[in-house]
A and B are shown apart, each in its own frame.
Chain A
Amino acid sequence: MLTAELVKAFWAHMQNEFGSSVEQKNDSALMEAVAGFLEMLSIQDKETFLKDFVTTLGRTIYIPFELGADDPRWPLWNQVRVCVHEHQHIVQGEREGWAVFDSRYLTSSSFRAGYEAEAYGCDMEMEWWHTGQIFDIAGRAAGLKAYGCSAEDIAQAEQALTIRAGVLTQGGVSNLASLEAIAWLEANVTGLRIA
């Protein structure tokens, strides 16, 4: 069963493995500036960005909740899942080079959909590990509208998630952040894998 201490320990492990740090989003002047920038590019409105989304810039993850806190908007499992999602963005930045990753993410809704689909893949992998269920792929991909993605971008993300689901239902996981997370959770948390 997940506890506040386990969630904190999990985040600490992932930070150590991927070289990331965590900051509170609502304390960050940088996040305020980025929110304005994203709104200017029509990627996401300012309020939604600041309150509803965890954001990763480089190796820093900005969170709108307190780690391990009993928050109805961010239950403990969601805090675990979003940790994995954001660390996959760090994997992407390291893999492609930060300049390429950042510029493509910011200026191309198609590339942005591709990167998010890969990180949504972490959500799918973690949910499947946890419950044995594949989430609603079309519904999740549709969430990319909030990222300034078009219907064509969303269809692209849906297809990418469908390809990944085909591997997952055979017991295969490919995202490095998911693999690290699952290994730690299986070693340290009992009763979390329901399926």
Chain B
Amino acid sequence: MRPMIALILSCLTLHGLLCVVLAVGCGSPCLQVKTTRCNGSLVELCGSNKKWQRVMDCAEVKAIRPGAPTTWTCAETAKGCICIPKGGK
């Protein structure tokens, strides 16, 4: 059965409804919309629902151009928390 259909059917039960409420309602809360943070190698953004949401994983960035940086890290900068090349500023 397709996962989304299974999900819809699961909503018909109290247990299923609880699962949906937990999945949507949980997640780390944040105070100010549009602020960013580093969570390990993840760049996270405070969403309009005031939950931290993943933007990208700096550890997964790969160079697709010759000479592009090969390893990246999440760092706090004047532009907020973003991926920057390791060893960069």
B residues less than 8 Å from A118 (CB atoms): 54-56
Name the interface size band of chain A.
Answer: 35 or more
From B20, which residue of chain A is reached at the shortest CB distance? Answer: A103
B78 at interface (Cβ–Cβ under 8 A)? no
A108 at interface (Cβ–Cβ under 8 A)? yes
Contact with A along B8-33 (1 / 0, CB 8 A): 10100000000110011000000001
Judge whether B49 and A110 touch: CB under 8 Å. Answer: yes
A58 at interface (Cβ–Cβ under 8 A)? yes
Judge whether A93 and B3 touch: CB under 8 Å. Answer: yes
A179 at interface (Cβ–Cβ under 8 A)? yes
Name A's interface SS. helix
Judge whether B55 and A164 touch: CB under 8 Å. Answer: yes
Q: How far is the CB of A155 from chain B (nearest CB, A)?
A: 7
Judge whether B53 and A110 touch: CB under 8 Å. Answer: yes
Most chain B C-beta atoms within 10 Å of own C-beta, residue among A100, A109, A174, A182? A174
Judge whether B56 and A174 touch: CB under 8 Å. Answer: yes
Judge whether A155 and B7 touch: CB under 8 Å. Answer: no
Judge whether A58 and B3 touch: CB under 8 Å. Answer: yes
Judge whether A110 and B47 touch: CB under 8 Å. Answer: yes
Judge whether B33 and A121 touch: CB under 8 Å. Answer: no
A103 to B20: give the CA distance in the assembly, Å: 6
Which residues of chain A (1-45) have a CB below 8 Å from chain B? 30, 34, 37
Contact with B along A80-96 (1 / 0, CB 8 A): 00000000000001000
With A30-B2, A163-B43: A113-B48 Cβ-Cβ less than 8 Å? yes
Judge whether B82 and A99 touch: CB under 8 Å. Answer: no
Which residues of chain A (102-157) have a CB below 8 Å from chain B? 102-104, 106-111, 113-114, 117-118, 121, 129, 150, 152-153, 155-156
Judge whether A172 and B62 touch: CB under 8 Å. Answer: yes
Judge whether A160 and B51 touch: CB under 8 Å. Answer: no
Contact for B7 among A30, A102, A109, A163, CB less than 8 A:
A102
With A99-B7, A103-B20: A60-B2 Cβ-Cβ less than 8 Å? yes
Contact with A along B56-79 (1 / 0, CB 8 A): 111011111101110010000001
Interfacial residues, chain A to chain B (CB-CB below 8 A): 30, 34, 37, 57-58, 60, 93, 98-100, 102-104, 106-111, 113-114, 117-118, 121, 129, 150, 152-153, 155-156, 159-160, 163-164, 166-167, 170-176, 179, 182
Interfacial residues, chain B to chain A (CB-CB below 8 A): 2-5, 7-8, 10, 19-20, 23-24, 33-34, 36, 43, 45, 47-49, 51, 53-58, 60-65, 67-69, 72, 79-80, 82-83, 85
